[in-house]
Amino acid sequence: MTDQQTPPPVLVHVEGRAGHLVLNRPRALNSLTHPMVRTLAATLDAWARDPGIDTVVLSGAGERGLCAGGDIRAMHDDARDGDGTATEEFWRDEYRLNARIARFPKPYVALMDGIVMGGGVGVGAHGSVRVVTERSRVAMPETGIGFVPDVGGTFLLSRAPGELGMHLALTGDAVGAADALLCGLADHFVPARRLDALRADLASVPAAEAVRRHASAPEEGVLARARAWIDHCYAADTVEEIVRRLADSGERAAKEAAGTILAKSPTSVKVTLEAVRRARALGSLEAVLEQEYRVSCVALRRPDMVEGVRAQIVDKDRAPRWSPAALEAVDAQTVAGFFAPRGPGRELTFG
C-alpha cells in the first residue's frame, strides 16, 4: 500500500476508449521495480477482457524519458549481499510481461519519448504501435555494466537489418528516432510537441488512425550510411576479429566502436555475440526470453555485473575492473556455460 504522500509507481487511468499506464518514478527515470511489473501485468490482463478499452497507452512521467531500465541498483545489492532469488523472481515476471505485451490482443501504443533503455525497451518496443520522437534515445546498454541484453532485446536486435543489431548490442550505443525505425525498434515518428494531441485522439479514435494524424518523417539518422562497414565488421566470427576489422576499417566511427567494445566487459560482449546469434535461429520471442533468462541468471552471479553497476551507478567512477580483463581470457567453455540448462524448476517457461 502507498500512503497519500507517496504516489503510486504506476498511474492507471482511463480516458474515453484508451487505458493509460504511466510509469511514475521520474526521479529514477521511471526504472522498473517488481511491484511496477506486477501492476502492469495485472492491468493488462484486466484490460484485455474489458470491452470498454480499445487501446492501451504506455508513457513515462517527467520530462526525461519513458524508462531507463530495471532497478539495477537493487539487482546489484541482491547479487552482492543476497542469493539472487529476488532478482530471478523479478526477471521471471518481467520477461513474462514482455511476452504478454507482444501478444496483447488490442493496440498497445508505447510513447517512447526521451530515454528508453534496457527494461524500457522491454515494455515499449514489444508493443504493436511504437512511437518515437526527436528526443528519443533507445539503447540496450547492458555490456557496459557487465550484463547481457535481455527483456527480449536480443530478439529485437537479432532481427534488425544486416548487422545493425549486433553493433548496438555490443557497443550499447543509443539511437535516435530514424535509426530506431530503421532497426525495427519503433514504428512511427511523432514530434514531441504533438504527443498531447495524440493522447487526446486516442481516447476516441482507433490507434492506427490517431497515429497517422500526427506522424511525420524524422531527421536522417546515421546508421543507414554506416551499413557497409557495420555489416562487414560485425559478420566476423569472434569479438576479437570484429574489433580488428573495426580498427582497420579506415572509418572514424568504426574505430570509435572498436574502442567502445574494448571498454565493455569482455565476458559480456562475448556472451552477447553468442546470444544475438542464437536468437536469430530461435523461432519466437518466448524462446528467446527463455534463453535470456538462463543467461541473466548466470550473469547475476559473475563478478562483472556487481563491478559494472558499482562503477557506473554506485560509485560512479566509470572505471570498472573487469574479471577477466581481456577478451582473449574469455574462453568458449565460459561462454557456453551461460546457455546451459538450469534444471527442473529453475527455468523460465511459457505454457
Catalytic residue among 150, 187, 201, 274: 150
| Amino acid at position 241, single letter | E
Dihedral angle of Cα 323, 152, 138, 164, to the nearest 10 degrees? 80
Catalytic residue among 19, 65, 70, 153: 70
Catalytic residue among 54, 71, 113, 142: 142
> In the structure grid, which three cell numbers stand for residue 28, read together?
529514477
119 is catalytic: yes
In contact, 110 and 130? CB cutoff 8 Å: yes
**347 Cβ neighbours under 8 A, 6+ residues apart:** 290, 293, 294, 341
Segment (H or E) for 117: strand 115-117
In contact, 237 and 277? CB cutoff 8 Å: no
Catalytic residue among 119, 120, 124, 172: 119
> In the structure grid, which three cell numbers stand for residue 55, read together?
487501446
Gap between the Cα atoms of 81 and 244, Å rounded: 38
- 257-285 burial code (b ≥16 CB/10 A, e <16): bbebbeebbbbbbbbbbbbbebbeebeeb
Signed CA dihedral, 111, 112, 117, 122: sign only:
positive
**96 Cβ neighbours under 8 A, 6+ residues apart:** 41, 289, 348, 350
Could you tell me which of 106, 89, 90 has the C-alpha nearest to residue 43?
106
Please identify which residue in the block is written with the cell numbers 572505471. Answer: 319
Gap between the Cα atoms of 255 and 22, Å rounded: 40
16 is catalytic: no
Give catalytic residues, as residue numbers.
70, 119, 142, 150
